[in-house]
Structures are given as structure tokens and as C-alpha cells.
């Protein structure tokens, strides 16, 4: 009768494999977490979810106005502008006009006024924005906006910051928004140094 000796196993060989697999899973999860904000931001830009607006060129506004004209006019829409400032930023920030009424597809312009109320400190602010109703974000296009870059204000400095925009005529093709009469564009400035 011959007896076979069982293979000799090195202690911990299975543990090393489990450890490497676990570290690989953790590294993969960290990579997903690190890329999630950028991916979510891009998703919101494309779909208009969360009230994210679209970015357009001046030529896009001309084309939108032509489409609206060909459609025989799509009515007007009122855009309401709001503003707020994070308490850590010593700014006064407000729209110079609360509302604008314009034909759908036509380019509009409004200015916001920002003032650094600090007497001694140059401050750097960055704006976030959204549109309500949230679904309207995919049809609200900004051609020029101060929210595309950080804004620096010297002590006591006051500036006007324009926003050029239009509402895409295809908003009237959306069954949920075909009767929409008002869109709100809201901005909040935060301290960019935070």
C-alpha cells in the first residue's frame, strides 16, 4: 500500500492572494470615487439634469432664433434671476434686473452686480448656478457667463457681470415643458479660497 503525501502548502499563500485581490478592489473603488464628480458634472451638462444649463456659441443663438421664426413663433418665456452669496465671501451680489421676458429662441442679456465689501482684502469668488424647473436646464443655453471662471474683486471694487443666454425652441417639443411660462436662473457665489 503506497501512501501519498499531501502537497506541502506554504503558510499564508492563500492570504497573500486575498490581500492582493482586496487591494485591487480598493484601488478600483478609489479610482471610481475620484472620477465620479467629473463624470456626474458631464452627465448633468449633457442631460440638463439638476438644472445644469448648456453652453453655446453666439451662432447657436442665431440658429435658434431662425428655428423659432420658421416655426411661426413659439411664444414668450419669462426668465427670473436670483442671487445669493456664501457668508464666508464678503460680497454683495444681485441681478440688475429681476426678470426678462423674451421670445423663445431669441438671445437675452442680463447683468449681475458684485461688490467686494471688504475694505482690506482682495477676494476671489466662484459661482455655481442652476435652472428651475430642473428639466429646463437642457434647453437653457448660456453664451457668456461669469460662472465660467473665478472672479477677483479688490477691496471696495464693484463690477457688472453679463450673462448672454437663450431658450432653445425645442423646449416646446418636450411634453413636460411645452406650456412652461417661467424659468428661474439662480446663482450662488462662494469663496474660491475655501
Residue 51 has a pLDDT of 45
Residue 117 has a pLDDT of 96
Decide: pTM greater than 0.85.
Answer: no
Sign for the pseudo-dihedral over CA of 64, 163, 135, 56: positive
DSSP lists the bridge partners of residue 116 as 91
Residue 110 has a pLDDT of 95
Between CA 130 and CA 142 the distance in angstroms is: 12
Residue 59 has a pLDDT of 58
Q: How many CB atoms lie within 10 A of CB 61?
A: 20
Residue 60 has a pLDDT of 59
Cell numbers representing residue 16 in the block:
497573500
Residue 66 has a pLDDT of 61
For the chain, which ranges sit under pLDDT 70? 1-3, 5-14, 30-74
Residue 46 has a pLDDT of 47
Q: pLDDT tens, 49-92?
A: 444 555 555 555 555 656 655 556 668 999 999 999 999 999 99
Amino acid at each position: 500500500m503506497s501512501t501519498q503525501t499531501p502537497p506541502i502548502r506554504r503558510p499564508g499563500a492563500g492570504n497573500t492572494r486575498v490581500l492582493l485581490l482586496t487591494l485591487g478592489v480598493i484601488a478600483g473603488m478609489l479610482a471610481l470615487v475620484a472620477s465620479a464628480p467629473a463624470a456626474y458634472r458631464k452627465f448633468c451638462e449633457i442631460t440638463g439634469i439638476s438644472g445644469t444649463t448648456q453652453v453655446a456659441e453666439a451662432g447657436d443663438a442665431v440658429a435658434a432664433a431662425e428655428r423659432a421664426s420658421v416655426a411661426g413663433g413659439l411664444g414668450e418665456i419669462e426668465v427670473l434671476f436670483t442671487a445669493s452669496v456664501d457668508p464666508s465671501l464678503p460680497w454683495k451680489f444681485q441681478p440688475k434686473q429681476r426678470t426678462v421676458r423674451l421670445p423663445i429662441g431669441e438671445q437675452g442679456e442680463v447683468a449681475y452686480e458684485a461688490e467686494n465689501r471688504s475694505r482690506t482684502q482682495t477676494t476671489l469668488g466662484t459661482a455655481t448656478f442652476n435652472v428651475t424647473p430642473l428639466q429646463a436646464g437642457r434647453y437653457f443655453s448660456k453664451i457668456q457667463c461669469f460662472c465660467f471662471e473665478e472672479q477677483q474683486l479688490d477691496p471696495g471694487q464693484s463690477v457688472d457681470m453679463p450673462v448672454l443666454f437663450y431658450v432653445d425652441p425645442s423646449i416646446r417639443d418636450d411634453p413636460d415643458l411645452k406650456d412652461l411660462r417661467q424659468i428661474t436662473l439662480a446663482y450662488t457665489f462662494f469663496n474660491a479660497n475655501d
